[in-house]
Amino acid sequence: MLQIALWKRVAILAAVLFGLALAMPNAFYTRVEGHNDAVQAIEATGASTPELIAKRDAWPGWLPSGLVNLGLDLRGGAHLLAEVQVDDVYAERMDGLWPDVRDALREQRAEIGTIRRRDAPVGELHVQVSRPENMAAAVAAVRELARPTVTLTGVGASDIEVRGEGDMLIVQLSEAEQQATRDRTIQQSLEIVRRRVDEVGTREPTIQRQGADRILIQVPGIGSAEELKALIGTTARLTFHPVVSRTANPDEAPGTGNVIYPDIEDNGTYYILEKRAVVSGEDLTDAQPGFDQNGLPSVTFRFNPAGARKFGQYTSENVGEPFAIVLDEEVISAPVIREAILGGSGQITGNFTVEDSTQLAVLLRAGALPAELVFLEERTIGPELGADSIAAGQIASIVAFVAVLVFMGASYGLFGLFANIALLVNVGLIFGLLSAIGATLTLPGIAGIVLTIGMAVDANVLVFERIREELKSARGPARAIELGYEKALSAILDANITTFITATILFMLGSGPVRGFAVTLGLGILTSVFTAIFVTRLMIVIWMERRRPKTIAL
């Protein structure tokens, strides 16, 4: 018999109601530029700000309030393509290495004579020795300064290459270290740009690496490209503070001369710190992933002479005490001082993976851009494009809806009406899922929704045609419906699984508009299969139980 257990009915109904509840805020609100809460809504009715604030205040706080974000092509905003001057970082690395090279060569002065630094190409360090016949000793001494290259995938070869040419000792980063440095610099620049953009409350910016040394920055809702450039140029605040105590109460009074900051990783942990910073990020010259004496991932950092002096004095007086590394008023790490750090450099250890240590090094240096950004392309996109696109998308959606509804009603009568109701539920569920995951709706995304509307009834068509065939075999209505769903299920799954795989590949390998299309297509496939197999069937079963028809017209 055609039956659905009570618990299944409750589960189907609960899933539908939950999905529609997630989608409701998109129909209730209208987006207002400058609102940064979760109750921002989709653009467009033109209601005044007081009216919108009243709507926001009227929305029950216990209901979902997540919204579908509009992409750059719909909302307007700023577009920048920046090139990171990685050569500047190579030059800084060589400048930072020079004191160590100088000290190493001074110990070999008896053999190599006097040394002098000479001008060199970017990314190289040239040191002239007065006794080139003993260049091998100089090369060997400097090679002792080499350390393994650390990347996200593990440990590589030496980070520097040292060779002698005549009376010139040449030091440069190895190929592996150059690649690792480039990757870290781009990653660090991405992190800094993202933190700067997120501060203004913009939602779903596109900030991604493009090519070897370029960054694509697209921010919906921002006024102009110049405004975005000014925003990116600001500097994060990195400081090192003594730790007074740790607490789980964000409202605890820190006391005179103290501040309370949250832990960046643990939402329930807060640190009470002395307001006066021991040193700041302005004194930090380098921070890189490495390994401690036990071979475990760690982060090494280096201060300039002024910072080294202040940090050395503080650590020598506070061995065994914790100190906090604070970035933009958030504690990113609070290690314990194990010994006095007098050389201007130190090491942060903990339960790190290589990826964790690399990320922490990025955060430590996120107080300033690691290299200059040269903007190769900048555009300000007006909201008129978004209004036109939304209008075109609305027309296309309405036409698709009406065409599908008329076709299903004309072809399958009452069962077509059930399929149409399921189609409406399906679109609501799509927007509910988009709101839940915080996805960005772009013009290709609208195309994916329109395509989903046309594809959503495929499963119902397969089921209804199978039911027709069973009715021709003199089956009773209940048995025909049951066999129709059973025999059509494999075809439904095969067709939608292959399409879903295609959407997944588009999402993984594509970028920008392609991914926006893949997201709505993939979510639409999931919701359409759910509504066709479960929602439509539930409506038919309930109708059969109440009407108990002897025959059905299909």
CB count within 10 Å of CB 111 equals: 16
Q: What is the pTM of this model?
A: 0.53
Q: What does the pLDDT look like over 460-499, one tens digit per residue?
A: 888 888 888 888 876 688 888 888 888 888 888 888 899 8
Which is more confident, 407 or 154? 407
pLDDT of residue 53: 44
- Please give the radius of gyration of the chain, using alpha carbons only, rounded to the nearest integer: 32
Residue recorded with tokens 């009834």 = 457
pLDDT band of residue 30 (cuts 50, 70, 90) is: very low
What is the separation of C-alpha 57 from the centre of its chain, rounded to a whole number of angstroms?
30
| Beta pairing class for 124-129 and 168-173 | antiparallel
Q: Do 149 and 158 form a contact (C-beta atoms < 8 A)?
A: yes
pLDDT, tens digit, for every residue of 335-359? 888 888 777 777 776 667 777 777 6
Between the ranges 122-126, 296-300, 371-375, 390-394, where is the mean pLDDT highest? Answer: 122-126
User: Contact at 8 Å (CB) between 187 and 362?
Assistant: yes
Q: Is the pLDDT of residue 51 over 60?
A: no
State the Cα–Cα distance between residues 261 and 274, nearest whole angstrom. Answer: 11
Question: For the segment 184-230, what is each residue's pLDDT rounded down to a tens digit?
Answer: 888 888 888 887 676 555 556 778 888 888 999 888 777 778 878 87
- Encoded tokens for 113: 């004579």
State which amino acid sits at residue 515. Answer: R
Q: What is the mean pLDDT of the segment spanning 264-274?
A: 87
117 SS3 class? strand
**Can you give the length of the chain in residues?**
554
What is each CA distance from 241 to 29, 260, 281, 374, 394, in whole angstroms? 43, 11, 11, 34, 54
Of 50-59, 295-304, 310-319, 429-438, where does mean pLDDT reach its minimum? 50-59
Q: Is the pLDDT of residue 272 over 90?
A: yes
Q: Could you tell me the two tokens for 231?
A: 């925003």
Output the CA angle 435-441-447, nearest 5 degrees. 125
